[in-house]
Amino acid sequence: MRSSAPVADTLANACQRSIERAAHALLDAQKPEGYWWGDLTADTTLESDYVLLQLWMHPPNNGVWNPPTRELINKCTRAIMERQNEDGGFWIYPGGPSDISASVKAYFALKLAGIPVADERMTRLRDCILSLGGMQKANSYVKINCSLFNVYPREYAPTVPPELMLFGNVIYEMSSWTRAIVIPLSIVQSSGPRPVPTGFNLDELFVPGVPLAFPNNEGFFSWRNFFLTADKVFKRWQRFGLSSVRQKALKKAEQWMLDHTKHSEGLGAIYPSMMYVVMALDCLGYPKDHPEAIEAEKQFNNLLVDDGERFFFQPCFSPVWDSAIVAFALGEAGIAPEPAMAQCADWMLSKEVRRKGDWSVKRPNVEPGGWYFEFANEFYPDIDDTAMVLLGLQHAQSRNTVAQQAAVRRAIDWLLAMQGADGGFAAFDVDNCWNFLNSVPFADHNAMLDPSCPDITGRVLEALSVYGMKGNHPAIRKAVNYLLRTQEADGSWYGRWGVDYIYGTFLALRGLRAAGESDREAHILRAGEWLRSIQNADGGWGESCESYAQHSYVNGLSTASQTAWAILGLIASGDTDSISLQKGVEYLIDTQRANGRWDEAWATGTGFPRVFYLAYHLYRDSFPLLALATYMKSRGQGRGDLA
């Protein structure tokens, strides 16, 4: 059924007004330097880990914390407790069920902070943890962190040996974020446990009779069994191995860590690796007033938001990413003033990577180019950000056109060099797909590797096509074939970096359309039909993070960002005037606030599937603007001039 012309005209007028309000709101949010930057929020595990960091760096004296530390711990306690579920546990995404690992971390932090175990909130939390399987069911990083204080037996916590540094380029077969975490962690773990207050333990969280040993569900002749055996060997090596070898490994780990904090705002510019660097420098004997220690703690503390009303840690910063998306959305709407866009372009060009990073281990002869996600992270430009910045720069013209053209050329060359053998694109590395590494004991964060994924591949296809690369180019054909191979049976695509199948599907469709795929092809028609089939009754779209656990789409309440993604996917599939599309546009218009922005209570970004999710606070505003602008363009309308 098609929408009638009068209704469409009325909708178009309302849509244009909504676009103008959204554009004004975003332009008002632009920073003086030219960039956009929204909050990035997650779950309670960040605040919980911060309490453990205080125990490591500023332990209490006879059970009494020094006043500044005590104040921070009190704030952490309140921030954690505010997010407790009714059953006593803690979620890893808003509205989600209690998660065993997040709940154990919270219990450790809260008990350490002095909340009595008899407190009703603690008894509910303990009972919830036991009902979920107890400490034995927590993930490996929880067990490692607990073992650093001897509240979980070290013999049953995975070993992260610094000797990994002596195995050639093995560390570069792990994902960039994994290597940034495990290298400083290996230094920390090798130093031996730190004391806890007298009488402190977590014995009440262990389920009696349940073994602590690592499970092996893959059989005797398996990689899992091989790595479990290797873990036992490393544990014996820690006790009886040659100290000279250990010292050589520690020295290499230390040097790698220090080298990678240069030209970056912290190692990897992400919370866990930055936290372990602070601890590792302490283990290595760096005094607190050493420049490296001061800088590491400063960069880590910068992740804290404490403005008197809010107290939380951001897992990282997202200014390049946010700026590129907003610039693209404003440009597609055609209503951004030139000075604002030029200022944004100038700022983004200042963030171009011009040094070789970890990616160059596999691509040593490629010129540096592209962009990272944060304010500074020179070792880790990423493919997704680079493609998104290219799309943003399509509309944002720098005052230095020669510099912009050169940066665009370098970025395109770098992207082409980072295409995987399978035709797809990953996040930070190329052909990072040693699947057997998923069997190591500390790989249960579900992100040991960085394989190609449909969402990034779709965005790269769009970016390359926008800059003139035709469908018959070998790189384009390989990427298109990758997307055709990875389409799900129901017509959707998996989304690695956004929740989940709606995200993957909209980006795959946009990439295929940009590459010249006909919207009459069966795979395009199936994807469009899938998007229409999952629309909510209120006209919007929503998907739960539970999709990752179920390996298939799980419905969620409608959100502004996911509704925008679905609209963008439908239009890319050739749908420009269906009732489904119309209702989606109406949903965005009806839910827009008077100030031009949207509300969104749920997490629609993905860090580690089934482990860590993200709420990008600008997604709710930038993607609806892009969707509404794209809808107007598909009808040959819009593109006003906002002065």
Tens digit of pLDDT for each residue in 6-62? 456 799 999 999 999 999 999 999 999 999 999 999 999 999 999 999 999 999 988
Give the tens place of pLDDT for each residue, 161-180: 999 999 999 999 999 999 99
DSSP-H helix ranges across 515-591: 522-533, 546-550, 560-572, 579-591
- Where in the sequence numbering do the catalytic residues fall? 384
End-to-end CA distance of the chain: 39
Q: How many CA atoms lie within 13 A of 258 on its CB side?
A: 14
Pairing of β 304-306 and β 605-608: unpaired
Mean pLDDT for 52-78 is: 93
The pLDDT of residue 335: 86
CA gap 480, 425 in Å, rounded = 11
Pairing of β 605-608 and β 40-41: unpaired
Q: Do domains 5-41+316-434+444-634 and 45-313 have the same CATH topology?
A: yes
The pLDDT of residue 8: 61
Mean pLDDT for 583-611 is: 97
CA gap 617, 574 in Å, rounded = 30
The pLDDT of residue 236: 80
What's the whole-model pTM score?
0.95
CA gap 356, 378 in Å, rounded = 8
**Partners of residue 612 on adjacent β-strands:** 608
CA gap 269, 484 in Å, rounded = 34
Q: Quick check: 56 and 150 in contact, CB under 8 A?
A: no
If you average pLDDT over every residue of the chain, what do you get? 94
CA gap 85, 411 in Å, rounded = 45
CA gap 628, 16 in Å, rounded = 8
* pLDDT above 70: residue 578: yes
Residue 213 backbone zone (phi > 0: left; psi -120 to 50: alpha; other: beta): beta
The pLDDT of residue 64: 86
Q: How confident is the model at residue 1 (pLDDT cuts 50, 70, 90)?
A: very low
Mean pLDDT for 494-514 is: 98
* pLDDT above 90: residue 636: no
CA gap 198, 623 in Å, rounded = 52
Would you call 218 exposed, middle or buried from its count of C-beta atoms within 10 A (0-12, 13-18, 19+)? middle
Q: Quick check: 166 and 254 in contact, CB under 8 A?
A: no
CA gap 536, 2 in Å, rounded = 19
Q: Quick check: 195 and 448 in contact, CB under 8 A?
A: no
* pLDDT above 60: residue 2: no
Q: How confident is the model at residue 221 (pLDDT cuts 50, 70, 90)?
A: low
Q: How confident is the model at residue 233 (pLDDT cuts 50, 70, 90)?
A: confident
**Partners of residue 434 on adjacent β-strands:** none
Give the tens place of pLDDT for each residue, 306-356: 998 899 999 999 999 999 999 999 999 998 899 999 999 999 999 999 999
* CB neighbour burial string for 280-319, b if at least 16 within 10 angstroms, e if fewer: bbbbbebeeeeeebebbbebbeebbeeeeeebbbbbbbbb
* pLDDT above 90: residue 153: yes
The pLDDT of residue 227: 74
Q: Quick check: 55 and 149 in contact, CB under 8 A?
A: yes
The pLDDT of residue 376: 97
CA gap 201, 58 in Å, rounded = 19
- Interhelix angle 67-81/45-57, rounded to 10 degrees, is 160
3 state SS of 433: coil
Mean pLDDT for 418-426 is: 98
What residue segments make up the domains of the chain, in order of their start?
Answer: 5-41+316-434+444-634, 45-313
Mean pLDDT for 81-91 is: 97
Place of tokens 């220090």: 258
- Return the minimum-mean-pLDDT range out of 62-76, 105-119, 159-173, 228-242: 228-242
Single-letter amino acid, residue 586:
E
Q: Quick check: 346 and 642 in contact, CB under 8 A?
A: no
CA gap 409, 416 in Å, rounded = 11
Give the tens place of pLDDT for each residue, 93-151: 999 999 999 999 999 999 999 999 999 999 999 999 999 999 999 999 999 999 999 99
Highest mean pLDDT among 375-379, 444-448, 636-640: 375-379
Give the tens place of pLDDT for each residue, 384-399: 999 999 999 999 999 9
The pLDDT of residue 214: 77
3 state SS of 302: coil
The pLDDT of residue 639: 58
CATH 1.10.260.40 fits 45-313, yes or no: no
DSSP-H helix ranges across 132-242: 140-147, 176-190, 223-240
Q: Of the candidates 269, 259, 261, 260, which has an alpha carbon nearest to the alpha carbon of residue 374?
A: 269
Between 610 and 436, whose confidence is greater? 610
The pLDDT of residue 4: 45
Give the tens place of pLDDT for each residue, 255-268: 999 999 999 999 99
Q: Quick check: 3 and 579 in contact, CB under 8 A?
A: yes
* pLDDT above 70: residue 225: yes
The pLDDT of residue 547: 98
Write the CATH number of the domain with boundaries 5-41+316-434+444-634: 1.50.10.20
Alpha-carbon dihedral 122, 128, 131, 133, rounded to 10 degrees: -80
